[in-house]
Structure 1
Amino acid sequence: MTDWTADIESAAQRIAGHAAVTPVLNTTAFDLGFPVEMKLEQMQHTGSFKARGAFNTLLAGGVPKAGIVAASGGNHGAAAAFAARALGHPARIFVPEMAGASKIALIRATGADLSVVPGEYANALEAAQDYEAKTGAMQIHAYDAPLTIAGQGTCMREWEEQGLQADTVLIAVGGGGLIGGALAWLNGRRKVVAVEPATSCALNAALKAGEPVDVSVSGVAANALGARRIGSICYDLASRVGVTSVLVEDDAITKTQHQLWQRARQLVEPAGATALAALTSGAYRPEPGERVAVLICGANVAPDPFLTET
């Protein structure tokens, strides 16, 4: 069995000085009747938690002359390209058309070699795997790789160091990298609620089926949470450690996205609002006295109000 605590501790030491330490906000701004502690991971480099796993993978060593390759709905590609540039490696990023102009522009700004492919994330992953086979470039998987999971696990480790008091942490789920890292670090010490859009729910479907299964993906958060199949590492952790799975509708996500800006001045993409939407919509109702926290994961809103080029 993987010693995730040791792996995440090593990752934290490895990425120190490369990944940002993101702040925590305690607020009653959402009129829930109880306070919410939020970790603002959307303030990480390139606007999402993904930089943690990217830096951990690259700093672990063994990057070939061909550099790195990654497939992404947008956020992971931007983070992998950012980390590669910071460490002096060439990067080739594959994204689906649904990534959108804002995230495509963000990746291009890193100087990476970018390919936009038709279809969904799964199609971009196939193209990236073909490129890996042809060139020998290092594949940085968006979520289903031990170094990625360990890197993302540093987020929860950091939050506990910052004094996290919650009994329950709500985390949005796409392919499972962020919540997988959290489950690996916490190892059952706190309740974890997995929040997915009703139209992109790979973990929920896997838990019902008893194994990872393919799902269709669509909706407002699909370019960040649109994995067709949950990662095997996340599924194994969720099955072993235990997770509560809830679904939220697109209108709840969009409403919460607006509330985050209007009430807390946090500009986030739909994926970044998804976990909080479980509280604001009532999809998850805490027990009396249950202390809750929400991990805000992404800031790459579309359309980007400050985008000057595509």
Structure 2
Amino acid sequence: MSDPHRLESGQIREAARRIDGLVRRTPTQRLSVEVPSGPIEVVLKHEFTQFGGCFKARGSLNAILSARADGRLGDAGVLVASGGNAAIGAAWAARLAGTEATVVVPETAPPVKIDSLRRLGATVHQIGDHYQQAADAASRLATETGALLLHAYDQIPVAAGAGTIGLELADDVEGPLTTVACVGGGGLLAGLAATLRAGDRLVGVEPRGASCFDQARRTGAPVDVTLDSIASDSLGATRVGDICWASVADREVDSVVVDDADLIEARRRLWENLRVVVEHGTAAAVAAVLTGRVTPAPGSTLCIVLCGANTSLDL
């Protein structure tokens, strides 16, 4: 019997058809970057130019439209808990779908993300000091109000929407890919894993102080972790999601961990060299390449997903 948590390529293609023309097909940029072994060619996927400044709009919209088609979207709209980006994606998608959005974020969520949520018309509750506390509160609120509860990452339609990035990369970049993406709860990683073709490889990157996926790989099963990273506002899951864990099994997916200093330096280099500003969490994927921890296999193109830019220049 197949695992109900495991994403398959057909679910990604279905999501792509559902959200086609409603989200941005984000651009790629090919360039040479300097790494310890010398210059290498990479392709950057500029997903930070997506509606809401992050890939999360893809999954939220897919989930909302799917629920509406099935008659599961009521007058109370949608409700989601998030460190910020999933909430912004849900608020943007809800506005497009003409329904209400209520979000629960930790009290530690960056003000720039709270401001974005309010501009999108979402009702914002700040509860707890980390993601899981906000998620528990959101679950209670959904029961009380009847709102459709979206998950930030551990929900099939949400992760399937994120996976549409992989389909775009396969269309835009010829040949086998080595795709590098940061990992929070693993929705993006799960979606990308379901799009892997023969010869492709996927690398999930986390800060050492927010490494629930890497610690699960080392342990052999998802485990609760303690957060201690500058990127925990966006990569703030304390346990990798069941969908991610099931979807990476038996697929060409690796795990890499970087230090906070590495991702801070990667973020600085993106700004100084390209005038691109991303979140600290997003910069983790770049850091893995710049430090030489990830290199492309022979005959493979190295692709980095720049997945979010909901941050402040002051940082």
Asked if Structure 1 and Structure 2 have the same fold, meaning a TM-score greater than 0.5 normalized by the shorter chain, the answer is yes
- Mark the CA change 1:205 to 1:135 in structure 2 (over 3 Å): closer, same or farther: same
Equivalent in the alignment of 1:38:
44
Question: Which structure 2 segments of 5+ residues have no match?
Answer: none
Number of positions where the alignment pairs a residue of Structure 1 with one of Structure 2: 305
Equivalent in the alignment of 1:19:
23
- Mark the CA change 1:272 to 1:165 in structure 2 (over 3 Å): closer, same or farther: farther
Equivalent in the alignment of 1:254:
264
Equivalent in the alignment of 1:298:
308
Equivalent in the alignment of 1:101:
111
Question: Which structure 1 segments of 5+ residues have no match?
Answer: 306-310
Equivalent in the alignment of 2:14:
10
Partner Cα separation in structure 2 for residue 90 and residue 39 of structure 1: 31
Equivalent in the alignment of 1:157:
167
Deviation at 1:166, TM superposition (A): 4.8
Q: Residue by residue, what CA displacement relative to the aligned partner does 1:251-295 show, whole Å, maximum 9, x if unpaired?
A: 110111011111112111111211010011222244566531111
Deviation at 1:172, TM superposition (A): 0.5
State the superposition RMSD in angstroms. 1.7
Equivalent in the alignment of 2:232:
222
Equivalent in the alignment of 2:289:
279
Partner Cα separation in structure 1 for residue 19 and residue 261 of structure 2: 37
Preserved CA contact (<8 Å) 1:187 1:241 = no
Preserved CA contact (<8 Å) 1:166 1:292 = no
Structure 1 length normalisation: TM-score? 0.94
Structure 2 length normalisation: TM-score? 0.92
Choose 279-288 or 136-145, whichever is displaced more.
279-288
Deviation at 1:218, TM superposition (A): 2.3
Equivalent in the alignment of 2:185:
175
Choose 180-189 or 243-252, whichever is displaced more.
180-189
Partner Cα separation in structure 2 for residue 297 and residue 154 of structure 1: 13
Would you say 1:48 and 2:58 are equivalent positions?
no
Would you say 1:212 and 2:222 are equivalent positions?
yes
Deviation at 1:118, TM superposition (A): 2.4
Equivalent in the alignment of 2:125:
115
Amino acid at match of 1:8: I
Q: Residue by residue, what CA displacement relative to the aligned partner does 1:145-187 show, whole Å, maximum 9, x if unpaired?
A: 1101111111111121223545311111000011110001215
Instruction: Give the % identical residues.
Output: 36
